[in-house]
Amino acid sequence: MNGRHHDFDAADGSDVTGTPPSRSDKAESDGVEEALALVGRKTSQGGAPAAAAGPSTVRHRATPWPDARALAERIGRAAPPRTQRVPLDQALGHVLAEPLAALCDLPSFDTSAMDGWIVAGPGPWTVQVGGSILAGHGEASPLPDGAAVRIATGARIPPEATAVIRSEHARTDADKGQLYAEREVVTGQDIRPRGQECRSGDQLLPAASLVTPAVLGLAAAAGYDELLTVVRPRVEVLVLGDELLTAGLPHDGLIRDALGPMVGPWLHALGVHVVATRRLGDDAEALYRAVTTSDADLILTTGGTAAGPVDHVHPVLRKAGAELLVDSVAVRPGHPMLLARLAADGDLPARHLVGLPGNPLAAVSGLLTLAEPLLRGLAGRPAPLPYRAPVHDEVHGHPYDTRLVPFVHRADHLVPLHYNGPAMLRGIAAADGLAVVPPGGAQAGDELEVLDLPWTSWTPSLVEGGRFT
Ligand SMILES: Nc1nc2c(c(=O)[nH]1)N[C@H]1C(S)=C(S)[C@@H](COP(=O)(O)OP(=O)(O)OC[C@H]3O[C@@H](n4cnc5c(N)ncnc54)[C@H](O)[C@@H]3O)O[C@H]1N2
Ligand code: MOO
């Protein structure tokens, strides 16, 4: 033991639902109940109970948190990539399936960078009568030495011209029909030469780049009408629980469904296609039917992952012949989360299922631990660059498990938020992300890994449908 972790002597056992700000962090999300849940858990060799072995030697059935994330991503990346051609106005938020290579030179002709005068040779110059050279027109006739013509930004440079003089740097003598420069004129000034930004065929962006608004602009400038992108993974969300209301106030032991309204939009913000969110109650038959007939790439269930009388996820997966790849993760909250593989069956290809625990913050933990890396892999998106930041306060840890704690960025530090209990969304709703607290906890100033939320950086799917007219 390193002396940092939360000691589990808080015998009231009441803290598993989180701590209001007035209470000590000591009693935050974990407690006696969870410590007891570890007691009696066998080592992977079927040896002594895990809790008796101590943190350095303990082996859980639970997959370590970093391994669970890495495995989920590997599984996603192992799927054969599917690609499609998408018109530019529907490509926002997609991922490029091939490098973006310029289809033309940019600029595609020598062009004026300023409004002013195009001149040939040294001045003063004779102003040519007969209008200006404007953007959007074909090539003008060659400019004789000593001549000047008005030119607009973006207009083609006529052959033989040598420089552009900005209007504010030039003076005309109307009587003499002459143009004088008020500053030294350098050959080529304010002319953007053809190919300055790229030559046709140059790689502008690598494959796997996210199509952002800027990428759409670049692709259009470089001549694209459509893009080859990775097909978005399709996800079906199954919300389990007879106790859930879809409207009104909680009453008579019934509570509002907090996951139906949250999980679909969260997935959407990750750039995937949510085919449906269905509420199935605690009906094992309905769950079996849904799981065995869904053609989504990923089925995501909420609730029913534990071992209660109506927790149907494990029995249904067994009945469906699913292979459990991850069966609980060493993370708090969210440890009952699971990942399973459903074999191909008839017309249905092999698919995956992620079971999110029912407690709402535990479900968020499952989303970020298993669903997000898996979907990132399936979507061909690169992993975000991992980053760490110092934590402002001491954060108690779990003795063996990783903790995910909602935080806000304040003056280069992560400030952990209260209301981080497994059943609470009050912290995460105000958060910039989740701080990854290693087993044993962290001291003030320790650098913690940070998980961003999709909307704390720009996200494609907050722009509904990503279309423009
Ligand atoms: N004997 C044990 N019991 C429990 C354990 C354990 O290790 N041993 N783990 C606890 C933990 S941790 C969690 S998390 C939950 C996971 O349970 P389930 O995935 O089976 O979820 P449910 O029992 O269906 O629900 C748990 C909790 O969450 C509420 N819930 C469910 N769905 C929603 C929803 N859509 N919106 C809002 N709230 C929801 C539900 O009413 C329960 O209060 O198991 C513990 N038990
Ligand atoms: O408390 Mo559980 O850890 O919500 O997953």
Residue that is last in its domain, among 134, 168, 192: 192
* Binding site membership of 336 for ligand 1 (Cβ less than 6 Å): yes
Ligand nearest to the CA of 310: 1
CATH number of the domain encompassing residue 161:
2.170.190.11
Instruction: Return the ∠ at Cα 317 (arms to 284 and 233), rounded to 5°.
Output: 105
Q: How far is the CA of 363 from the centre of ligand 1 (A)?
A: 9
Residues 294 and 160 in one domain: no
Ligand nearest to the CA of 356: 1
Does the interface ipTM go beyond 0.90?
A: yes
Q: How far is the CA of 151 from the centre of ligand 2 (A)?
A: 68
- What is the Cα–Cα distance from 335 to 464, expressed in whole angstroms? 33
Domain with 211, as residue range(s), is 85-104+198-229
pLDDT at 131: 79
Per residue in 333-386, pLDDT tens? 999 999 999 999 999 999 999 999 999 999 999 999 999 999 999 999 888 888
Residues 117 and 98 in one domain: no
Q: How far is the CA of 421 from the centre of ligand 1 (A)?
A: 12
Per residue in 222-240, pLDDT tens? 999 999 999 999 999 999 9
Q: How far is the CA of 198 from the centre of ligand 1 (A)?
A: 56
Prediction pTM value: 0.80
Residues 280 and 327 in one domain: yes
- Characterize 309-337 residue by residue with b for buried, 16 or more Cβ atoms within 10 angstroms of its Cβ, and e for exposed: eebbbbebbeebebeebbbbbbbbbbbbb
Q: How far is the CA of 294 from the centre of ligand 2 (A)?
A: 27
Residue that is last in its domain, among 164, 192, 220: 192
Atom of ligand 1 nearest to the CA of 37: 7
User: pLDDT averaged over the chain?
Assistant: 86
Per residue in 108-152, pLDDT tens? 999 999 999 999 999 899 999 877 898 888 877 899 999 999 999
pLDDT at 443: 97
* Binding site membership of 441 for ligand 1 (Cβ less than 6 Å): no
pLDDT at 68: 98
Q: How far is the CA of 25 from the centre of ligand 2 (A)?
A: 17
Residues 218 and 248 in one domain: no
Atom of ligand 2 nearest to the CA of 337: 5
- What is the Cα–Cα distance from 401 to 460, expressed in whole angstroms? 33
42 has pLDDT over 60? no
Residue that is last in its domain, among 163, 192, 221: 192
Percent of the chain having pLDDT more than 70? 84
pLDDT band per the 50, 70, 90 thresholds, residue 48: very low
pLDDT at 138: 81
CATH number of the domain encompassing residue 219:
3.90.105.10
Q: How far is the CA of 351 from the centre of ligand 2 (A)?
A: 26
Q: How far is the CA of 423 from the centre of ligand 1 (A)?
A: 8
Ligand nearest to the CA of 354: 1
The mean pLDDT of 236-247, rounded to a whole number, is 97
pLDDT at 382: 87
Ligand nearest to the CA of 329: 2
pLDDT at 18: 37
Residues 51 and 133 in one domain: no
Residue nearest (by alpha carbon) to ligand 1 atom 46: 306
The mean pLDDT of 47-59, rounded to a whole number, is 36
* Binding site membership of 302 for ligand 2 (Cβ less than 6 Å): no
* Binding site membership of 233 for ligand 2 (Cβ less than 6 Å): no
* Binding site membership of 254 for ligand 1 (Cβ less than 6 Å): no
User: Based on the structure, what is the number of domains in the chain?
Assistant: 3
Atom of ligand 2 nearest to the CA of 361: 4
pLDDT at 457: 60
* Binding site membership of 332 for ligand 2 (Cβ less than 6 Å): yes
Residues 285 and 386 in one domain: yes
Residue labelled with tokens 């061909």? 380
Residues 225 and 237 in one domain: no
Residues 322 and 393 in one domain: yes
182 has pLDDT over 50? yes
Residue nearest (by alpha carbon) to ligand 2 atom 3: 333
Atom of ligand 1 nearest to the CA of 306: 20
Q: Which of 441, 397, 68 is nearest to 60 (CA)?
A: 68
pLDDT at 78: 93
Q: Which two structure tokens, joined as six digits, stand for 251?
A: 């009453």
Residues 167 and 237 in one domain: no
- What is the Cα–Cα distance from 26 to 313, expressed in whole angstroms? 33
* Binding site membership of 336 for ligand 2 (Cβ less than 6 Å): yes
Residues 293 and 225 in one domain: no
**HEC secondary structure over the chain:** CCCCCCCCCCCCCCHHHCCCCCCCHHHCCCCHHHHHHHCCCECCCCCCEHHHHCCCCCCCCCEEHHHHHHHHHHHHHHCCCCEEEEEHHHCCCCEECCCEECCCCECCCCEECCCEEEECCCCCEEEEEEEEECECCCCCCCCCCCEEEEECCCEECCCCCCEEEEHHHEEEECCCCEEEECCCCCCCCCEECCCCCECCCCEEECCCCECCHHHHHHHHHCCCCEEEEECCCEEEEEEECCCEECCCCCECCEEECCCHHHHHHHHHHCCCEEEEEEEEECCHHHHHHHHHHCCCCEEEEECCCCCCCCCCHHHHHHHCCCEEEEECEEEECCCCCEEEEECCECCECCEEEEEECCCHHHHHHHHHHHHHHHHHHHHCCCCCCCCEEEECCCECCCCCCEEEEEEEEECCEEEECCCCCCCCCHHHHCCCEEEEECCCCECCCCEEEEEECHHHCCCHHHCHHHCCC
Residues 269 and 416 in one domain: yes
12-21, 72-81, 376-385, 437-446: least confident range: 12-21
267 has pLDDT over 90? yes
Q: How far is the CA of 357 from the centre of ligand 2 (A)?
A: 7
293 has pLDDT over 70? yes
Q: How far is the CA of 298 from the centre of ligand 2 (A)?
A: 22
Residues 43 and 128 in one domain: no
CATH number of the domain encompassing residue 336:
3.40.980.10
